[in-house]
Structure 1
Amino acid sequence: MNLYLATKNLGKVREINSMFAGTGIDFVSAGTIMGNVAEDGDTYHKNAFAKAMAVYEQNTTAVVAEDSGLEVDALDGAPGVFSARFASNEDGVNSSDEDNINALLDFMQDTPEPSERTARYVSVFCLMMGGKSLFFEGEIAGTIAAEPMGTSGFGYDPVFIPSGYDKTFAELGDQIKNKISHRAMAVIKLKDYLLSIDDNNKK
């Protein structure tokens, strides 16, 4: 089964495909046909739906879109839905991972204690298929490191330390991250659903 993934982020495509390895389900970036989608929703669900619809309206095959974000307690849940453009001065334009991390750490420089640097990563997938939308959610708690550490992953991975570990996602590497992350939790639910459909179609 081949599906479009409504993203231009090739790192996200690789990460999700690695989670589906061996299932016979493959995702292809729909970045060339989705255009520029205004991710101006106030929830991850609304943004994921908007991205999925942008592709589905042009090609009615199955489409999956994801919106995710980092929610920091000391910042009242920010950056949240603005995670990809946290350091941007222009609405709707994503800023670089490095700039976003630097902006986050600047905001938290007066919050030195790990117990006060709690946060969570949230992921929401939207599946558009047969004219209907379904959502699959995942979440993982953790803390924000004082400085970036590690080189793998993307986004805020160099500063996010998942609960139960003493290393950032970027230090732990894809093998561990893809088992415990917010995206992994949502993907498990999406995978179970897609495999159940595939099994039913084979009967």
Structure 2
Amino acid sequence: MQPLPRLIIATRNSHKSAEIRAMIGDRFEVVDATAFPDFPEIEETGTTFLENARLKAEGISSRVAGWVLSDDSGLEVDALGGAPGVWSSSFGGEEGNHAKNNARLLAEMAGKADRGARFRCTMVLARDGAEVANFSGAVEGRLVEALHGAGGFGYDPLFIPEGFDRTFAELGDDIKNSLSHRSRALQQVVVFLNAQEIK
């Protein structure tokens, strides 16, 4: 039996790679950057999701054979002029500290009537150090005024997707993965890869 082609996710974020692994199906062996301890951290110096995703995909794919998929994603809040955007993971002052990020968001949104927001995700596929294609997905919704739910990660306890009355953290992984910004971008990735001669 021939081994599955490998898809390398350019992240060390276990939540993110688990979501992608669950959505990508069984056509690929999905691994992330934790499988390559010698890989350097790619500095995200871009000012857009696409720039950051491209930096990661091209940086990792220049060091390893096969397909590399990266994403950059975050929360855009209308009342905050699109912030936190590309700085979503460090909005609270400490990279990856979800509690601090959520606390700052709640403070910034206190008293604001416009609760509109969206999660946006941009993905880049690369091979041999060069971008091959990019994809984008978004899910519209609104912010609540207090944390609700224990599931998910990041801003999930504060975000209710359009058409629902519960936060991503309350809806559970199956529902979230079916409609999230990441799943919408990833569906396009899967269609693209299925059209290629994968090896």
TM normalised by structure 1 equals 0.89
1:3 correspondence with 2:7: yes
The residue that corresponds to 1:29 in the other structure is 32
Unaligned runs of 5+ in 1: none
Unaligned runs of 5+ in 2: none
- Matched-pair contact (CA < 8 Å) for 1:20–1:26: no
The residue that corresponds to 2:195 in the other structure is 196
2:195 counterpart SS class: helix
CA distance in 2, matches of 1:36, 1:24: 28
For residue 25 of structure 1, report the CA deviation from its aligned partner: 1.6
The residue that corresponds to 2:52 in the other structure is 47
The residue that corresponds to 1:57 in the other structure is 62
The residue that corresponds to 1:148 in the other structure is 147
Give the superposed CA RMSD: 1.5
1:99 correspondence with 2:100: yes
The one-letter amino acid of 1:62's match is: W
How many residues get paired? 192
1:70 correspondence with 2:69: no
CA distance in 1, matches of 2:90, 2:48: 15
Question: Could you list the runs of 4 or more consecutive aligned residues of structure 1 that deviate by over 6 angstroms after TM superposition?
Answer: none
For residue 34 of structure 1, report the CA deviation from its aligned partner: 3.3
For residue 173 of structure 1, report the CA deviation from its aligned partner: 0.6
The one-letter amino acid of 1:109's match is: A
CA distance in 1, matches of 2:123, 2:68: 10
CA distance in 2, matches of 1:123, 1:155: 14
For residue 95 of structure 1, report the CA deviation from its aligned partner: 3.5
CA distance in 2, matches of 1:201, 1:143: 39
CA distance in 1, matches of 2:160, 2:38: 35
1:68 counterpart SS class: strand
The one-letter amino acid of 2:12's match is: K
